[in-house]
Amino acid sequence: MENKQQFTQLIKEGLSAIKTGSEIAAKSSDIIINAATNPKLKEALQKNKETAKIWVERTDRAIQETGAIGQIDNPVVDGIGKVHQNILNSGLDDYSRDLGIINAGQLALHYWIAAFGTMANYAKQAGLDETYKAMKDCADESVVADEEHTKVAEQILGGN
């Protein structure tokens, strides 16, 4: 590895961005859950909220392992939050709003898949075994949540 110190700094910054993103997402999760009308969607969103708490714990442990400090802006999660807000404020009917919630939720999940997956790969390369496992588990769970959102969308679109 050419410059391990800079590579480790990149990992620390990535984890800090994940931490910030988690806090942004947590602030809006109850609002989004309350806005959903489809029971299966509400259930999936509630499950995601609980899983996100585990992601925060894992991220905190990864931050401890790497020595990352502070937080940095996360404009990606900020932007996804604005997409959610626009959907909730748009006056859509329940059907369309629920599908919009799924759409924005999947945008968020794809961010988490990428963020956790990248940090897992980087941590593995840097020999940060705990961080690797934590981020890999989060990435895998993000994929499962994304698949669940797709199934709920298909059920809503199919009238179920």
How do residues 6-60 score in pLDDT, each as one tens digit?
999 999 999 999 999 999 999 999 999 999 999 999 999 999 999 999 999 999 9
**AA identity, residue 116:** F
18 within 8 A of 71, measured Cβ to Cβ: no
Q: Is the pTM of this model over 0.85?
A: yes
pLDDT band at 160 (very low <50, low <70, confident <90, very high): low
Mean pLDDT of the chain: 94
Q: Tell me how many domains the chain contains.
A: 1
Residue 4 confidence (pLDDT): 86
CATH of the domain at 91: 1.20.1260.10
* Domain of 97, in residue numbers: 4-157
